[in-house]
Amino acid sequence: MSPGFQGRPRSAEPALPPGQYLTEDWPVLSAGPTPRVPLDTWEFVVTAETGAEYRWSWDELMGLPQETPTVDIHCVTRWSKLGVTWRGVSLDTLFDGIDTSARYALAHSYGGYSSNLPLDDLRGGRAWVVHTVDGGPLPAEHGGPARLLVPHLYFWKSAKWVRGVRLLVDDQPGFWETAGYHDYGDPWREQRYQGD
């Protein structure tokens, strides 16, 4: 054991991507009104490029293996919040057994919002459909009953009130990407707008 290495402060690593500031509270950013989605009609649908659909009811989602990731979130409007603990289902679990050769994904929400990302960014233990935050139900204004969580990209990619994901052969911009925001949105490379 090396005491020097062991004692190295965690803060030696940068916690904040460039151009971000730390916030303790949690701003609400919604492009429209908060949709109210009753749990008995809620569903999550993955639509493959073949048109094949894979559906989960609320109870089915809750019956899948659950994970409890603690991650940092970074909004393109420059606030970051560190160490938020969520609970939900990994996209790896949902994609298990789905046959696809698509390379892109478009997440879409109750209420009409959408965001696009490469399908690979939803894989590899980096994306979840979450229903719980800091031990309690995800509040409606923050995307409850369930939202997408893709914390390694700017938080606009994490579609609130998520309803499904379309698997696409060709990339298709979502709500903010159509309005000039970056197609990929890596906060560590400060990919805020098209051309960054």
Ligand X SMILES: Nc1nc2c(c(=O)[nH]1)N[C@H]1C(S)=C(S)[C@@H](COP(=O)(O)O)O[C@H]1N2
Q: Which of 19, 27, 124, 125 binds ligand X (CB under 6 A)?
A: 27
Q: Which two tokens stand for residue 46?
A: 């993955």
By CB under 5 A, tell whether 176 contacts Mo ion. no
Binding mask 113-152 toward ligand X (x if CB under 6 A, else -) reads x----------------------------xx---------
Q: Which stretch binds ligand X (CB under 6 A): 22-30, 44-52, 53-61, 97-105?
A: 22-30
Q: Are 42 and 103 in contact (CB under 8 A)?
A: no
Does the CA dihedral 144-67-175-102 come out positive or negative?
Answer: negative
Q: Which of 16, 75, 82, 140 binds Mo ion (CB under 5 A)?
A: 75
> Which of Mo ion, ligand X, none lies near 111, with the C-beta cut-off 5 to 8 A by kind?
ligand X
Q: Which of 42, 156, 175, 181 binds Mo ion (CB under 5 A)?
A: 156
The residues, any chain, with a CB within 8 Å of residue 81's CB and separated by 6 or more, are 22, 23, 24, 26, 72, 73
Please, how many CA atoms are within 13 Å of residue 119, restricted to the half-sphere of its CB? 22
Q: Are 50 and 101 in contact (CB under 8 A)?
A: no
Residues in the site for ligand X, rule: CB under 6 A?
26-31, 75, 109, 111, 113, 142-143, 155-156, 158-161
